[in-house]
Each structure stands twice: as structure tokens, then as C-alpha cells.
Chain A
Amino acid sequence: GDKVKQSPSALSLQEGTNSALRCNFSIAATTVQWFLQNPRGSLINLFYLVPGTKENGRLKSAFDSKESYSTLHIRDAQLEDSGTYFCAAGDSNYQLIWGSGTKLIIKP
């Protein structure tokens, strides 16, 4: 089965609303990275986490290694937030194990 399960696989939001994306891990993740892949295909770094939480503007992320999950919260969604969000867990070999992505569409 998937070592990193990302949910939901797709999401459509109205501009100005809030949402939460989630990754569940079946491996012992030591770190988590969240990326946004924009429509041009570039992977943009959002967060790099050890267990704990970080906040950056309208984005907030948490990583709980004991419960084996991570979340990404988007507040007041804007059109430019559209794209595919990926989480990737750092495993014991320090390699990234990737989720399959959440495709997010923000509608005006």
C-alpha cells in the first residue's frame, strides 16, 4: 500500500474560504516537506518540518510524528493558490517518500 497517503485527491474551493489537506504515513517519517506544483510545473517549497508546527502568511502546517500525519491549512484561499500540493516524508534513509498529490482549484 501507499506509504504516504494524501487526501483529498482533488478539491475545489471558492475564493476566500479555508481548507485543510492531510498526509498519513505508514513509515517512520523524520521530516515532512510540503510543495506546491504550479501550472507551469515548478515545485515550490512551502514548508520543511520536523515534528511541530510552522506558519507562513495564510498557510499553516503541522507534523505529528507519533500519530504519523501532517496537515496543511490554507486560510482565505486566493486564485494563485491553485495547483497540486504534494507532501513528502523523509524516511530513515533521509530520502523523500512522496504522496500522490492534492489538485486544488480555487474559483472566483
Chain B
Amino acid sequence: DAGVTQTPRHEVAEKGQTIILKCEPVSGHNDLFWYRQTKIQGLELLSYFRSKSLMEDGGAFKDRFKAEMLNSSFSTLKIQPTEPKDSAVYLCASSFGTGAEQFFGPGTRLTVL
């Protein structure tokens, strides 16, 4: 079985650009999570979908971050407009159900100049 896939693996953007990160969860998993990882803040939850419904929209990240799940096998995270402080690794994870084990994709390393 394929694990969680994420594209692109690396992204370089100019300040003010719009970028879209993509994630495909493990087939059959119902829950999908977007996280951001930085050295200073560690892992932070951005968004959480349960059966395609948005359960957590990231609080402080709502302003310029928007996650969508158009079908059960594909999710996007849009950052608009990007700022240099958005430079981080963005991780997508999925799980079979509420509270179940989460499995992570390889991440997208975003650099905003």
C-alpha cells in the first residue's frame, strides 16, 4: 500500500506569491492533518479534516492559510500571500479514524524569499 504522498518536495517562492501544496492520504483513511514544522516552534497543527469535513482550521493560521479536501483522496494547502516567516517544512498525515495512529508524508520544504 502506498503511504501518504506529498508534492512538491521542495518549493521556493517570492514574498507575496500564492503557493499550493498537495497531499494524498493513505487509501481508506478518513482523517487528514496538515502540520508545520520549524526548529523554533516544533510541530504545529494547521488543519484537521474528518471524513472531508474541516474540524480544525488552525486558529492563528486562518489568515493566509487555507486547507481544502475536495475528495477523500486529495487535499491542498494554499498559502496566500506567502511571507518569509512561512519558511518551514509542511507535513501531511492521515489516520484511519478519530484518535487512530497517524502516518506522515515526506513533507514539503518551503522557502520564501
Tell me, yes or no, whether B63 is within 8 Å of chain A by CB.
no
Instruction: Identify whether the interface residues of A are mostly helix, strand, loop, or mixed.
Output: strand
Tell me, yes or no, whether A56 is within 8 Å of chain B by CB.
no
Tell me, yes or no, whether B54 is within 8 Å of chain A by CB.
no
Q: Are B106 and A98 in contact (CB under 8 A)?
A: no
Interface size of B as a range = 10 to 19
Q: Are A42 and B42 in contact (CB under 8 A)?
A: no
Select one of B43, B101, B107 contacting A98, CB under 8 A: B43
Complex contacts, B42 vs chain A, CB 8 Å: 98, 100-101
Q: Which of B97-113 contact A (CB under 8 A)?
A: 98-104, 106-107, 109
Q: Are A41 and B106 in contact (CB under 8 A)?
A: yes
Tell me, yes or no, whether B56 is within 8 Å of chain A by CB.
yes
Complex Cα distance A41/B103, Å? 14
| Count, A-B residue pairs, CB within 8 A | 35
Q: Are B91 and A43 in contact (CB under 8 A)?
A: yes
Tell me, yes or no, whether A17 is within 8 Å of chain B by CB.
no
Tell me, yes or no, whether B79 is within 8 Å of chain A by CB.
no
Tell me, yes or no, whether A106 is within 8 Å of chain B by CB.
no
Q: Which of A30-66 contact B (CB under 8 A)?
A: 30-31, 33, 35, 40-43, 45, 48
A interface residues with partner B (beta carbon < 8 Å): 30-31, 33, 35, 40-43, 45, 48, 86, 88, 90, 94-96, 98, 100-101
B interface residues with partner A (beta carbon < 8 Å): 42-43, 45, 48, 56, 89, 91, 98-104, 106-107, 109
- 14 pairs of residues in contact across A and B, judged by CB atoms under 8 Å: A41-B89, A41-B106, A41-B107, A41-B109, A45-B104, A48-B100, A86-B43, A88-B43, A90-B99, A96-B43, A96-B45, A96-B102, A98-B42, A101-B42
